[in-house]
Structure 1
Amino acid sequence: MEWLKVVLLSAVPLIEMKGAIPLGIYEYHINPIVVFLLSFFGSLLPVPFVLIFFNKIFDFLGKYKFFSGFYNLIDRKINKNKAKFEKFEEIALITFIAIPLPTTGVWTGTAIAAFLKLDFKRSVMCAVVGSFLCGVIITGLAVAAPAFLKML
C-alpha cells in the first residue's frame, strides 16, 4: 500500500517527487531504486492531461470577468517571452522540470509547454527526461543525506 502512496503523492502538484522520494525512503523504508521508479512513473501520470486540457480550461476561465485580469496578465507574459523560450525550448523545459525547487517540476513545466503551445510529443519527452533527472537528483540527495549528517 505504501508504494501506491508514493506513486500518487508524486503526481500531486507542488509535492511531486520532491516529497514522494524522501517519504518512500525514510518513512516507508522502501528501497531507494524502487522509490525512484515509483515516483518517476507517478510524476508522469498528469503530463498528457495537463498538455491536452490546460489551455482549454485556461481559455474557458478567461471568458469570465473574475479571471480575465489574471488570464490577460499570463497571456501577455507568455507572448512577450515566447521568442526567447523557443530558442532553447527543449533544454529550458528539461532544466526547469529537473531542478528540484518549489514551483518547478512536471506540473509547472507541462503547463508552460501547454501555454506556449509547444509540440505535444516533444513536450512529453522533455517531461520524461526532466522528471528522470529530478528523480536522480532527489534520490541521490536522500540517500547521501544520512552520511552527510553524520559528518557534521
Structure 2
Amino acid sequence: MTHLIEVFILSAVPLIEQRGAIPLGLYYNINPILVFFISFLGSILPVPFILLLFNKIFDWMKKYKFFAKINNYIQNKINKNSAKIEKYEEIGLITFIAIPLPTTGVWTGTVVASFLKLNLKKSMFCAAAGAAISAFILTLGLTVFKGVFSAVFGS
C-alpha cells in the first residue's frame, strides 16, 4: 500500500510526474495495470488547481522582485511551448501532454493552457486524455523493456 501511495504522489510532482512514478511502480513489482491507473490519477490531481489558480499566483508573483528568476523561468517555458499548443489547440494540448519527454507533461501543458486561457472543461479533458496516453506509452514500453531485459539477462 505504501508503494502505491508513493507512485500516486510522485506522479503529481512537477517535472517528475509519470516519467518517474511509473518506473518506480514497476520497480516495486506492482501490477502494471495498477501502476497505470495510480499514476494516471496522481498526474491529473493537480490539473483543476493549475487551471484555476496558475494565472492568479503568477500575476501575484510578478509584483515581487524576489520571484524574478522563477517568473523568468516559467515565462520562458510558456513562451517556448505555447505556439505548438495555440496552433492546434485541443489536439496540440493532448499531444504535448502525451509525449513522455522532459519539459512536456501534465504540469507544463496545463500551465500553458491556463496561460492561454483555453476553455476550462476542454483543457481538463485534454489533460486527462494526454495523461492517459502518456501513462499507457510509459507503462507498456517499460513493461516490455523489463520483460526483454529479464529474458536476456535472466534477472
Match of 2:88 in 1: 88
Q: 1:94 to 1:40 in 2, by over 3 A?
A: same
TM-score where L is the length of structure 1? 0.86
Q: 1:60 to 1:142 in 2, by over 3 A?
A: same
Cα displacement string for residues 29-59 of structure 1 (whole angstroms, at most 9, x for unaligned residues): 1100001000000001000111111100111
Amino acid of the structure 2 residue aligned with 1:20: A
1:1-152 equivalences under 5 Å are: 1-26=2-27, 28-67=28-67, 70=71, 74=75, 78=79, 85-149=85-149, 150=151
CA distance in 2 between counterparts of 1:91 and 1:45 reads 21
CA distance in 1 between counterparts of 2:82 and 2:42 reads 29
CA distance in 2 between counterparts of 1:29 and 1:94 reads 29
Q: 1:82 to 1:12 in 2, by over 3 A?
A: closer
Gaps of 5+ in 1: none
CA distance in 1 between counterparts of 2:124 and 2:30 reads 28
CA distance in 1 between counterparts of 2:140 and 2:84 reads 32
CA distance in 2 between counterparts of 1:41 and 1:82 reads 25
Q: 1:82 to 1:105 in 2, by over 3 A?
A: closer
CA distance in 2 between counterparts of 1:5 and 1:82 reads 31
CA distance in 2 between counterparts of 1:23 and 1:15 reads 11
Equivalent residues, number? 148
Cα displacement (A) at 1:68:
5.9
Cα displacement (A) at 1:83:
7.4
CA distance in 1 between counterparts of 2:120 and 2:7 reads 27
Cα displacement (A) at 1:65:
3.8
Q: 1:146 to 1:74 in 2, by over 3 A?
A: closer
CA distance in 1 between counterparts of 2:17 and 2:83 reads 29
Cα displacement string for residues 62-95 of structure 1 (whole angstroms, at most 9, x for unaligned residues): 1224556846x939x75xx967743411011101
Amino acid of the structure 2 residue aligned with 1:98: A
